[in-house]
Amino acid sequence: MANAPGPAEAPRVVLGKIVSVHGVRGAVKVYSHTDPLDNVLDYAEWTLNRGSEQRTVSVLGGRVQGRVLVVNLKGIDDRNKAEELINFEISVAADTLPELDEGDFYWHQLEGLKVVNLQGQVLGAVAHLLETGSNDVMVVKPCAGSIDQRERLLPYLPGQFVVQVDLETKVIQVDWDAEF
């Protein structure tokens, strides 16, 4: 008799990465993908992943130090234990993220969506997004059905270049000439 599969794991979102240690008492330095940086500290529990390794840790507290966070984790009380956590990605369940206003999206929701211009041409799919300071930029790479094999950088500016984002059909409609 085969075992029934367990409940499907909720999708996870990577919020940052442990990049080094801080001091001798077990604090770790975290590069955060959240805006502002310390929003990652809003989650009391993190799932850490590195390759096939996975751990769950509890966050005791942290603070911004320059462009990283210095974070204390429960049970990590010396430098050696902290060093074991370097290069682990920090993730949380997607359903624990705060609700956004209508028309706002998390980057992970946009990644993988097809990008189609007003002429109906498939320009590619969103591989990832970049933060440039003035606005976010979608990195659009060729996918099945693309009009060509070009990689494109499209500004993510709703109302200007981004006409509509439809998560159900997995399509972003853009006002963008295929020749750009």
- How do residues 128-158 score in pLDDT, each as one tens digit? 998 887 889 999 999 999 999 999 999 999 9
Average pLDDT for residues 116-133, to the nearest whole number? 93
Cis peptide upstream of residue 11 (ω within 30 degrees of 0):
no
For residue 8, the model assigns a pLDDT of: 53
d(CA 163, CA 120): 13
Domains of the chain: 13-95 (2.40.30.60), 107-174 (2.30.30.240)
The tokens describing 13, both together, are: 């979102």
**pTM to 2 decimals?**
0.73
The SS3 assignment for 172 reads strand
